[in-house]
Chain A
Amino acid sequence: MTNLSSAVERLGGVYLLPLLLSTLAFALIGSPSTWMTLTIAGLAMGMMIFLMASGLSLIFGLMDVLNFGHPAFVSFGAFIAASVLAALASWVSGDSAVMNIVALMAAIAAATAFGAVAGWFFERVIVKPVYKDHLRQILITMGALIVAEQLLLVIWGGVPIQVARPAILTGSVIVGDVSIEVYRIFAFLLGLVVFVAMYAVLNRTRVGLLVRAGVENREMVEALGFRIDRLFIGVFMAGSALAAMGGAMWAGYQSLITASLGSELMILVFIVVIIGGLGSIQGSLLGAILVGLMANYIAFLFPKMALASNMLLMMAILLWRPFGLKPAVK
């Protein structure tokens, strides 16, 4: 048994889970083209959820803050991106690929920048007074989420908003029998780029080293001469910016958004953070991919189980690994 588990660890350990899940799904689905379509949809969905969840995981891990207001950044990111795309409608729908990309980048940049600035304000005004008090954190951040949703209704109204998708990201690529939406490929690649960038910052820079150390033991980081409260602000801003970026991507994915978009995704985001392990970027990626794949496979195979599938996944993983698949703290 020990030999088997060490052999599994050598092969990749918990990182084999997506492979295992997709292999099992392949056997159950039967059709390779359907399986491929679902797998790519799951990976794209997973990457977008990763964007939203990774910041929350770091905020929870480093700052010990239960931020139930995190979905507000997702919602605002989606609406800001939608507004920018609407304002640049002629670029979005035009034939010029360059203008398409400029419009897309402007939408994502505006959402991300708003997330960073709003994150700074949120940390200073709402979260800072309730550090070390989880009950108040839950109450005040839930309250902030409700206020944020009302603000969305005030600014954008209660009617669902149509999100224009840049022409370059519409349509599909046909590979054999498999039809792959271009937007999903883009979502997957963007998520991958963000993961690589975050991984590099966390593992190759001194700031990243401090963040990883702070996730484990804030007090000791301070006793070594570093101001962790300054790191807190940076991490909170980055986490909020990523959530807004995820929201912007999700807006393009769904095409129709409402003010409750963030709240609806909250459960999935929290599941990813919990099963991935607190404070771990690799864990968040792994959790997000599992959740994305699971949601797509189950929705196809057992539609009535779709809502419960990720809850069951979380229960199974927590029974096996109570601290998540890749917790940052050893």
Chain B
Amino acid sequence: MSNAILRLDDVHTDIAQYHILHGISLDVPEGGVHVLLGRNGAGKTTTLRTIMGLWRAKKGAIVFRHHDITAMHTSDIARLGIAFVPENMGIFGGLTVEENMKLATSDGSFDKARLARIYELFPALEKFWDKQAYALSGGQKQMLAIARAMAEPRALILIDEPTKGLAPSIIRNMVDAFREIARETTILLVEQNFFFARSLGSGVAVIEDGRIIHRGQMADLAADEALQNRLLSLSAEAHT
């Protein structure tokens, strides 16, 4: 794929003595939401963490906009324009919402229009702006984690299972927010919630035992329940 913003080529990652990724090859095209689906333990989180340099690829190459980031320091990868929203949200509970947001900016100041857009998407953040983040609910913490990734323009946002443990009403808000974010940024989304992924994703890849077993368009996968069952061992009904 020529317009790939991110390319993983035969990436292998070990965690301690365990070989988790067995040669992941993946192209993420620029623009839109691209979903990495897979069951628990398939290697989704490891893939995102390897891209961010939080775990090192033992073999293979990761290229972001013509920069080989395979061996780069995590902070340098972030400065190239990749934001990361981890599964545990990575919120600094002892800091205020404002301070959490400030850390996501390069000089501690906010673009007013961008901040207004964040408030519009996540009104709770404005309400609790000067409150310590540990006091936020799970959904509000997830909003803060995503808002932090939006604090400045990013080329790519890696988001790890944002719907985990959230109420359906909050998940619906998330869908709207992600659509809005995807208008200016590419999102690589790791998910298990197929309904959420289907409502957002343009491209999809399925990972199993540290290998990509399917690549294609989300619309095609959504339309083929047999394929879903075969690839994910889950059906649409299982998530209703």
User: What's the tally of chain A residues with a CB closer than 8 Å to chain B?
Assistant: 21
B74 is an interface residue with CB less than 8 A from chain A: yes
Is there contact, CB below 8 Å, between A213 and B75? no
B52 is an interface residue with CB less than 8 A from chain A: yes
Which of A213, A215, A227 is packed against the most chain B CB atoms within 10 Å?
A213
Is there contact, CB below 8 Å, between B94 and A226? no
Q: How far is the CA of A20 from the CA of B94 in the complex (A)?
A: 27
- Could you give, for residues 53-76 of chain B, a 1 whenever the CB lies within 8 Å of some chain A CB and a 0 otherwise? 010000000000000000001110
Main DSSP-derived SS at the B contact region: loop
For chain A, residues 208 to 250, give those with C-beta under 8 angstroms from any C-beta of chain B.
Answer: 209-210, 212-213, 215-217, 219-228
For chain B, residues 91 to 148, give those with C-beta under 8 angstroms from any C-beta of chain A.
Answer: 92-95, 99, 102-104, 106, 108, 132, 134, 148
Is there contact, CB below 8 Å, between A226 and B93? no
B98 to A: closest C-beta gap in Å: 10
Is there contact, CB below 8 Å, between A217 and B94? no
Is there contact, CB below 8 Å, between B78 and A223? yes
Partner of B75 from the list A206, A226, A328, A329 (CB cut-off 8 Å) is A226
Q: Name the residue of chain B whose CB is nearest to the CB of A206.
A: B108
Is there contact, CB below 8 Å, between B84 and A223? yes
Contacts of A221 in B (CB 8 A): 103
Is there contact, CB below 8 Å, between B132 and A330? yes
Contacts of B74 in A (CB 8 A): 219, 222-223
Is there contact, CB below 8 Å, between B92 and A213? yes
- Could you give, for residues 73-93 of chain B, a 1 whenever the CB lies within 8 Å of some chain A CB and a 0 otherwise? 111001100001010001011
Contacts of A328 in B (CB 8 A): 94
Q: Name the residue of chain A whose CB is nearest to the CB of B80.
A: A225
Q: How far is the CA of A171 from the CA of B106 in the complex (A)?
A: 53
Contacts of A224 in B (CB 8 A): 75, 78, 103-104, 148
- Could you give, for residues 289-330 of chain A, a 1 whenever the CB lies within 8 Å of some chain B CB and a 0 otherwise? 000000000000000000000000000000000000000111
Is there contact, CB below 8 Å, between B103 and A223? no
Q: How far is the CA of A270 from the CA of B74 in the complex (A)?
A: 33
Partner of B78 from the list A212, A215, A225 (CB cut-off 8 Å) is A225
Is there contact, CB below 8 Å, between A217 and B54? no
Is there contact, CB below 8 Å, between A209 and B86? no
Is there contact, CB below 8 Å, between A223 and B73? no
Partner of A216 from the list B92, B104, B108 (CB cut-off 8 Å) is B92
B13 to A: closest C-beta gap in Å: 16
CB within 8 Å for A209 and B73 given contacts A223-B52, A223-B86, A329-B93: no
Is there contact, CB below 8 Å, between A225 and B93? no
Q: How far is the CA of A330 from the CA of B102 in the complex (A)?
A: 19
Partner of B103 from the list A213, A219, A227 (CB cut-off 8 Å) is A213
Contacts of B99 in A (CB 8 A): 209, 212-213
Is there contact, CB below 8 Å, between B75 and A216? no
Is there contact, CB below 8 Å, between A212 and B94? yes
Contacts of A206 in B (CB 8 A): 102, 108
Contacts of A225 in B (CB 8 A): 75, 78-79, 106
Q: How far is the CA of A251 from the CA of B94 in the complex (A)?
A: 36
Q: Name the residue of chain B whose CB is nearest to the CB of A226.
A: B75
Which of B78, B95, B103 is packed against the most chain A CB atoms within 10 Å?
B103
Partner of B134 from the list A210, A228, A330 (CB cut-off 8 Å) is A330
Partner of B95 from the list A212, A219, A222, A227 (CB cut-off 8 Å) is A212
Q: How far is the CA of A225 from the CA of B154 in the complex (A)?
A: 12
Contacts of B54 in A (CB 8 A): 219, 222-223
For chain B, residues 31 to 53, give those with C-beta under 8 angstroms from any C-beta of chain A.
Answer: 52
B76 to A: closest C-beta gap in Å: 8
Q: Name the residue of chain B whose CB is nearest to the CB of A327.
A: B94
Is there contact, CB below 8 Å, between B52 and A212? no
A29 to B: closest C-beta gap in Å: 38
B29 to A: closest C-beta gap in Å: 23
Q: How far is the CA of A217 from the CA of B100 in the complex (A)?
A: 12
Contacts of B73 in A (CB 8 A): 222, 227
- Which 7 pairs from chain A and chain B are nearest by CB? A330-B93, A330-B134, A220-B90, A225-B78, A222-B74, A223-B84, A225-B79
11 residue pairs A–B, Cβ–Cβ below 8 Å: A210-B103, A212-B92, A213-B95, A213-B99, A220-B86, A222-B78, A223-B86, A224-B103, A224-B148, A225-B75, A227-B73
Given contacts A223-B90, A227-B73, 14 further A-B contacts (CB under 8 A): A206-B102, A206-B108, A212-B95, A213-B95, A213-B99, A216-B92, A216-B93, A217-B92, A219-B90, A222-B74, A225-B78, A228-B75, A328-B94, A329-B93
By a beta-carbon cutoff of 8 Å, the part of chain B in contact with chain A is 52, 54, 73-75, 78-79, 84, 86, 90, 92-95, 99, 102-104, 106, 108, 132, 134, 148
